[in-house]
Structure 1
């Protein structure tokens, strides 16, 4: 709570404000109402002050064990054993007490917590019980201060220099909060490797040294100077082998420069930079301007002013850069002192006379009085110092302010001046007073003052006419994605991972950078399965709060004595939670819960919509939610998840609106059975909405929960059912050629054989054989599996298994170019088909067998020389699909009907069918439908009238199909593209396409398109003899396969070649037998062309 008089934060158990002494109101434990300090009973419910409510109270922030990032320090007094041997015990006690008092005071000044004194040493925590934004830095600064102070300590052990200490520091994730010991020995224990490593680093350190681990160094960046140290007794651990001795604070002037490694180009701040440059132009003209850049930590304030400095460059004198520090809030004018020291060139350990000389040179144009005042500010003795001894403090401050402002006037008189004041939220009161005066004084000077601060800073001077307040918000999604790509530095991140980083970082630049680096580190550490990209869920989880952000996020929560646990429970619910759900989980009285939520609202942790009890709340930043979630121990998380799942289950008992949410909470609670049940329901709902990605995700999650169940036949049957559903969904979502499809159905096959579930094997073979291996154009594997399916038929006498065997045989024959055998198989399948038994709703096939077979039969008949019958078969398959209300079967039918149209070179028909496919795709997206639909459209447009863009789009799609091993129809598509390329005059590209088609045929053993490949190679070779050889090889192949369409086309090309060579009789002898064979298809392009050529040859 906060004091109503002065606003200071006060612990919930305090009766008076520690800052102003005001008596504090007390909250009623029974109803939560706030009561005046002098009342003994609650004015709302009559309960006595201090009465205990039946509802559990929200515990204090540090009352329960937590997971958190901490920095742990071990301090050891060197040579204490020798001291004990030479000192009287009372004297030794006094020495150690002095040592403890000294270290305790310094540690407290840096917000550390002494967990335990161990005789001559101490164990110290930074980040517990209260986290701070700069815990690791505070620990290092405290370590350096302790080393220095102990070395100057005058004790009974001897003069300064007698005592020294060793300090070891490590940072990392720990569990803290369990109380151990009794009475005065009671302490909060820290469990984890961090204290052990800190102790080992301290042991290995030299006297007077502070040794830090690599984990700590990564958190403090280049704020300090280091020396590598060889720790021989700690070999074998890479993090320890990179330990460093901290020498001193670094000379880098900017925290931004020190903590950020490398500079990325400025992204998404064009408008803000333009504003700064416009104000700079006004300042150069003598109209002093001030800009306050306001924004939360990490929003990009320092990066923006760095960009301004680069743009201003030599157009101004050296900028005056004032940087406030969180560690010097009580040091008057600290930013000014540091700026003067840097500009004068002071060095560490430099003698005072040398400093005075440098200061006098730096302020050569100043009056002796101003020089003396500034020397006094920097504690540098000078000849005129004695004259200031009797000046009252208030007068001396006024003289100091005047000297600083006059110096800025003098500098601006030479060249326009850029002044930068960073992090004003950390300004000491005296600096804030100076800035107020400076802003007024520069109105008529060529000075631009840019101040950066966090949103809670609202100075009174912001309303002055020459001041502009520029709030900085997050980047838009486009610029956020650009920043991610810059951080990734050319390393590829999938688009869904980029989207998740953007959503998780809420477009805050620092969050984006750190999350991206965290993802990249995880990918390097665990590259995973190379066959499929890592999922965004696996790369970004609630436990992956970047270490560089963890302390600042937890610091915001630790400042909330009553709101912290509500935030933790809310984090388990999700990014958004309702008042109603929170009250059901906490069982707090409405008033007490409102107070806790108000605390979170005031701190900017959450935002609210509506009013209680119907209000909903959202975490302002996903990373704050993650930090709150990650701080909970797993056991506590599971308990909260279980409560949430049970509440949701009760609220949605009839028909769950969000079964996936209930499933997730049960999964996190460890209730696998219930989680699987609800994930199945979620998958069913996704099926009805044609939400393929969601369906796949729910099924994968259910399978992950299956693995948590004890091994049993029932578990494996559940897994088998889920694997079959997942495989079917993956065919549509990832494509039938996906390696996930293969792995899923192979696992299902293993389970079928292990459980002797032979009647489910046809479903497995549908996915594994008819989809995956057919897509990969692997006829020999299909033949092998056909034998397995026949064995199933013999064991079960199952009609569906027989149908499946026929389908597998037909596909193998088609790929091998055995068109007549394939036609016979396909006709038998059509004759055998029964809708009730074999249709899609029977669940045995991913696509309707009749639709699939009729459209393939149409392709087969067309190649065999029956184009009209083939077209009728294809359209019969499409018409049948339209009666089924089964979009994926219709999608397949339309695609294969397009292939049959391409075989006939009927661009009008293909265009119409591809438009139908596009319309269907709007309502039901499938993997191949989205690719091949565009390909068919581009081919039809190009065939009608060549358009370079359409042809290039078609080629890009072919490359994509090739890259994903969608090879069954790819050689044919390549021949179509090659023909168009050749007709456009690009014979080289046509030849390259045909060469790749030949390679695919050879590699896969698929021969169905060989005759057409040979024919087109002959068309585009400039050597007539080679062309004749290729044409005759094509004729031979086509006749062996019974491919009358391929034969006719080749006969036309060979006849044209012979005609051009003057052999018209030979040309007629080649063409006429092929043409005379046909009994239909007279209006097709191929027969029309052949007929015209025969007339010409008569």
Structure 2
């Protein structure tokens, strides 16, 4: 019996259609479809998409899927696939049930609009989410040239190539999220969108974060998001950690409620009706006893029912009569049939000859989706032979289906997929450990050959194959590339996963220069990812950068040493070890003297480290001299690789100088400088640097006692820190928010916020700026009628200044101490001494 015609599920389809109607006429909607493997999630979504397109002539359907082999480590995979489809990559998915002829026509119709939005609204998506070919070839040069955007898209393609191995100007996650959201919202103005994401249980954390962002930002937009997943795949891991999708589902339910179609909860009567409807798609004389036995055997599970009917047909237990009606032949022995769907799969596969079996084993090693040319190389057969055999497997045996073709350089690659993940898993399970290892290696070598200079596009699959092949010397470089890509996309947790695995594999390699170079790359990137996720002062940051620096001593003139030293500088600075930062600056100077290739950049960083160190020590005049040198060199350099150096040194320099101006008495000049710096920071599209600048702006506004603008900037910084998971910046922004609330007269609210935030900041291990935060807290306590607590905080701040050498705020702390002592009617000599010391320190800073 054919399995192409959809039957049943009318209740579920009605629910889906109702939610779509709300999306089209009220506001954007999110719906989940869940069910076990083989429950019919994909078939249901295909039928829903078909009916929805029939009902609405403008509706556009786009599909993205998560990958069982790569999903948890491949950032934004489903959203990249959706964007690729919207930009014309139709061939890859043409054979899937979602791409009906009318949907293909509609995708072509919106192509110009998508291209325009990529150029004008979402250039970062083009350069980071799409294969290079999609920037021009997929959309079509003729169309783009006519529209006048060819030059812009080719510029984006060049930018993508330049970013392949470095992090120049990479966008932060919140910026990428905002661009994706804006693009969808503006696209939905032209055509309503049905966006389907399959197999969310295999999704990466970054994709789930983007999904959550979309749900919260889409409002009256004509967009329906549907995600499918298997609830049985959401179990906690061996460490008791919840699946990230489960966390997202709970969060969505708490904020928005959760609309779910659960196929596992289908009532028995509905399953019975499905079984009968499946049989009655074609003329038959199958009686009630047959139907009851079939239902008892399969439980009405869609995939199992279809496979059992196929098995009955192939065994001759059901066949067509002269009128073409299906009939049962004789007395059926149901006991000889498999009792699980896996058994049916095994029976079907057992009938294949060895040649197609060998091909499918190679295919299964690639994953649910696979490339015909890879099979041809591994099996050493011609492509024509492979195509012919795959066609038989698709048409006669219904084990696979064709997806389409993609172009990689001069090669055209033919893509296929197993009709269900259970079939791919079965073939994988038939492989012994040794054969599986060998096949992974052969598949990896074939992929390298086919992709040539563009292997970076498939770095993660290559890393997986070489890892499974037991070839760590090949796996580790690809893991480094995959981590690069993850950091570029601000998917730092995924980057940490790749880097941690790389360090584990490195232990299998013999010592030597090659291993040392690989570990330097791994540790440097791990330091960067740890800063983004844990903050500058985390011990893990020192461990990663410290190990990288030790290794750099073994390799003369390794270029990574400078960003490694900058990373260590940031760690020691935030830890309050200001005098140690001077030693780091000396090492940078020595590197500059020994190297001419990167001398201007190293000279800039040398002045920057010196200027920042002097600033925090309260040596404001000498700090400004050094920082002026940075600003003199900065314009002559190419764009700084912000992800290697974490914060743009030009912005950081302006921030420190602006605050120094205020402390030196040039108050209006300091305010003007920080506002100009904020404008520059916003143009960089680098949220870490922007949050940095916002925090300095808050500090200056707090010193000026301007509560309203300070509150606005603090909340903006807090929003960015929350979106990005910036552990370091979150408490800082909350401290400034509490200070601003107090300046606006909301003393108790501000005090409560500041107390908690200061404790959170101290918990990060950071000492730097505690003098400022404790000073601000002491002032708020005094204003709130708690001068005794305020005195405790100012004494703690002065003690911290003495311990760390951070004296930039010392004059203000001494002034506050004198003021609070006066409020408490303390000894006049102590009050006067505090004020006199404050004046002396302030004069010394000039």
For normalisation by structure 2, the TM-score amounts to: 0.49
More helix by share: 2
Rg: which structure is higher? 1
Q: Bigger relative contact order, structure 1 or 2, given CA contacts below 8 A and separation 6+?
A: 2
